[in-house]
Structure 1
Amino acid sequence: MTLGDKIKNLRIGKKYTQTFLAKELGITKAMISAYEKNTRKPSTNIILKLCDLFNVSLDYLLGKENDKYLNISSLTDNQIKIINSLITEFKNNNKKHNFTL
């Protein structure tokens, strides 16, 4: 999968329009389209913003690894329980403040 494919799939997965994503990144819709068509490559700064916006690792976005989410296989059951509690707390806080990206 190309970088452009990943950007498009992540954007669609979040239900973002190209216009919305462009605004969040401070670039034009045409640039998003060019990234997704692999006719232009995003700058390092834009790539880092994409990682933050989509909550994926740089390694995932650049194709170094296929897992877009954190690998917790080496964590203890207690550590996983703590992480799940934090995730639940973040989700509840986001709902409370009507926060979406």
Structure 2
Amino acid sequence: MKEVAERLRSLRESVKLSQVKMAEVVGVKQSSLNRYELNQASPTFETLMRYVDYFDVSLDYLFGRTDNPQGKLFEYRPKIEQSDPEMEKFVEMCFDPKSPMNERLKETLVKMLEEAKQ
């Protein structure tokens, strides 16, 4: 379980969350989270699932079976309906220069690209 403890801590630190905040996210006490990260206790399956959902990683990654956060068998396939009217409206708005959201979308994308470079 040493690998799990290290991965839990590494994931938390990667997003600069304190143990207190991370404990709130996964629904445990800070003292429990501290013991998990020090390999003094084992988190429940539910707690592990909250971690993998929050960080969008696989259990294989969390257990050290792979260094690929998506795991060995992970294959991302977004669940977007082709005929979803809300999605079509959103996409149209993204590419319509007359849209009131156009400038805000551009700024958001630029910011995301800058953050990805860091």
TM-score (norm: length of structure 2) = 0.57
- Are 2:20 and 1:19 aligned? yes
Aligned pairs, how many?
76
The residue correspondences of 1:1-101 to structure 2 (distance < 5 A) are 2-69=3-70
Contact 2:52 / 2:58 at 8 angstroms: preserved in 1? yes
Name structure 1 gaps, 5 residues minimum: 72-78, 80-88, 96-101
1:39 aligned counterpart, secondary structure: coil
Letter of the structure 2 residue corresponding to residue 20 of structure 1: K
CA distance 1:42–1:70, change in 2 (3 Å): closer
C-alpha change, 1:57 and 1:27, in structure 2 (3 Å) is same
Residue-by-residue CA offset, 1:48-93 (whole Å, 9 max, x unaligned): 110001111111001221111468xxxxxxx9xxxxxxxxx9xx6x
Distance in 2 of aligned mates of 1:10 and 1:55: 10
Q: In 2, Cα distance between the equivalents of 1:25 and 1:56? A: 15
Q: Kindly report structure 1 stretches of 4+ aligned residues shifted beyond 2 Å.
A: none
SS of residue matched to 1:67: coil
Structure with the larger RCO, 1 or 2 (CA within 8 Å, 6+ apart): 1
Q: Which has the larger radius of gyration?
A: 2
Query: Once the two structures are aligned, what percentage of the paired residues are identical?
Result: 25
Q: Equivalent residue of 1:59, what SS?
A: helix
Quote the Cα distance in structure 1 between the aligned partners of 2:62 and 2:71. Answer: 13
Aligned CA RMSD, in angstroms, stands at: 2.5
- Distance (Å, rounded) in 2 between the aligned partners of 1:63 and 1:2: 6
Specify the code of the residue in structure 2 equivalent to 1:60. Answer: Y
